[in-house]
Amino acid sequence: MADFLRDLFRAMPKAELHMHLDGALEVKTAIELMTGRAPDAKAPDGGGTECPKNAAGGAFRAQSYEALYRRLVIDGPLATQAALLGRYDLPIELLQSEEALERVTDDLLRAKAADRVRYCEIRWAPALHCAGGLGVRRVVESVARATKRACARYGILARLIVVGMRFHAPRENVSMLRQAAEADARGLLAAADLAGPEAAHPDPTVQQPFFDAARRLGLGLTLHCGELPSSADAIRRCVLRVAPDRIAHGSGAAADESLCALLAERGIRLDLCPTSNIQAGLYADYADFPVATLFRRGVPVSISTDSPVISGLTLSEEYYRTAAGGRLGPAELWAINLASLDSIFAEDAVKRALKAEFRAWAHGVSELCPDASRPD
Ligand SMILES: [Zn+2]
């Protein structure tokens, strides 16, 4: 049964709405960026022991392939969300050139296409990639260029979301957004997001000028909020005062039935990442993660990996683990996948085409669409 479910989730066309570019830096690419050459497959440590200069002029510390893997990929629960966010430090340090940004974007879309993700949204904070001298415009143009190319090469659709940071002043985030909007993003820039350590910066409403600027620029709006099980009040405040189109995480809403009703009524989708939240020590396991509760209360949800390399899994595996431990069957997970297309930051024609494609694929697959496969 386990193999059947894994194969089913691998084969089904999927949408992934919550995914960070700097959480997708593969170990072999990290070594290439550090050493200027591909890792040596024959060397026991992958050959990742050299330490030339990084793009910002500083030297990287020598590390073995295995040490680098351990530094990038989480393989057990961490103590806090802050510890998980610390895993982004090295990727951000390495992704400071156009070449590096293009490379990680290509790697990400290739891996997603291989996992049958048909549509994804890539988010990242351009301001964190300017230490090597790139401005926000060039950062956005590099990622957009690579996205366009990779989408054509691998047969996948994507849109971009630029992220403002909670620890940056609102005027800095507004400035980033304006520069991003001026860049030649090839029609792919679709939304703005706010991210960063929530415990240290609990009130997102201080970033209202950033949210207003996103709306003025005609962008969709999402923000990271409410990962903690006890964060229902923060999510309610965010819904009522910021009124985002979607919320990244927001699983804490499950503790409050009236908040669930509010999210359902307003159609605000929670882009959940079960593994990432479990790794951050916020939930004990998949049975503890409240996706089933939220779904059955009518809250729009989607399922994503957050960071495919840092969290160390594909979207198919995320679905499988959710099914295995999260009290949801394949038909419910398929319904979540299909409905998530209603909230993507893409044009209506793209939504319609993807929905038609997904429905056509699932027609007659009785585990996903039990009603459709019944004889009339
Ligand atoms: Zn995230």
pLDDT bracket for residue 41 (50, 70, 90): low
Residue 129 forms part of a structural domain: yes
Length of the chain: 376
With 0-12 CB in 10 A as exposed, 13-18 as middle and 19+ as buried, what is 356?
Answer: exposed
Is 371 part of a structural domain of the chain? no
Q: Each residue of 184-224: pLDDT tens digit?
A: 999 999 999 999 988 888 889 999 999 999 999 999 999 99
pLDDT tens-place string over residues 261-316:
999 999 999 999 999 999 988 899 999 999 999 999 999 999 999 999 999 999 99
Identify the pLDDT of residue 79. 76
pLDDT at position 60, please? 59
Residue 167, number of CB atoms within 10 A of its CB: 11
Residue 44, pLDDT score: 43
Q: Is 190 helix (H, G, I), strand (E, B) or coil?
A: strand
Q: Each residue of 320-334: pLDDT tens digit? A: 999 988 789 999 999
In a domain, 375, yes or no: no
C-alpha–C-alpha distance, residues 51 and 280, integer Å:
30
**Is residue 373 included in any domain, yes or no?**
no
Q: Is 249 inside a domain boundary? A: yes
Which of 222-226, 253-257, 353-357, 366-370 is predicted with the least confidence, judged by mean pLDDT? 366-370
Rounded to the nearest angstrom, the distance between the alpha carbon of 17 and the centre of ligand 1 is 10
Q: How far is the CA of 120 from the centre of ligand 1 (A)?
A: 14
In a domain, 369, yes or no: no
Q: Identify any residues that bridge with 222 across adjacent strands, giving them in sequence order.
A: 246
Of the candidates 195, 201, 209, the residue with the CA atom closest to the CA atom of residue 164: 195
The parent domain of residue 237 ranges over: 2-362
Residue 375's pLDDT is 46
CA of 364 to the centre of ligand 1 (A): 34
Q: Which of 33-42, 125-134, 247-256, 304-313 has the lowest mean pLDDT?
A: 33-42
304 CA to centre of ligand 1 in angstroms: 9
Choose the weakest-confidence range: 35-44, 48-57, 121-130, 364-373. Answer: 48-57
More confident residue, 233 or 372: 233
Q: What are the tens digits of pLDDT across the range 182-194?
A: 999 999 999 999 9
Task: Provide the number of structural domains found in the chain.
Answer: 1
Calculate what percentage of the chain has a pLDDT beyond 70: 91
Q: Is residue 140 part of a domain?
A: yes
At 202 the pLDDT is 85
Neighbours of 344 (CB within 10 A): 24
Average pLDDT, the chain: 90
Q: Is the pLDDT of residue 1 over 80?
A: no
Q: What is the largest CA-CA distance in the chain?
A: 68
Where residue 318 sits, what CATH number does that domain have?
3.20.20.140
d(CA 341, CA 164): 24
CA of 192 to the centre of ligand 1 (A): 13
Residue 357 lies in a domain: yes
Residue 72, C-beta contacts closer than 8 angstroms, at least 6 positions apart: 25, 27, 30, 87, 90, 91, 309, 310
Encoded amino acid at 185, one letter: A
C-alpha 367 to ligand 1 mean position (Å): 30
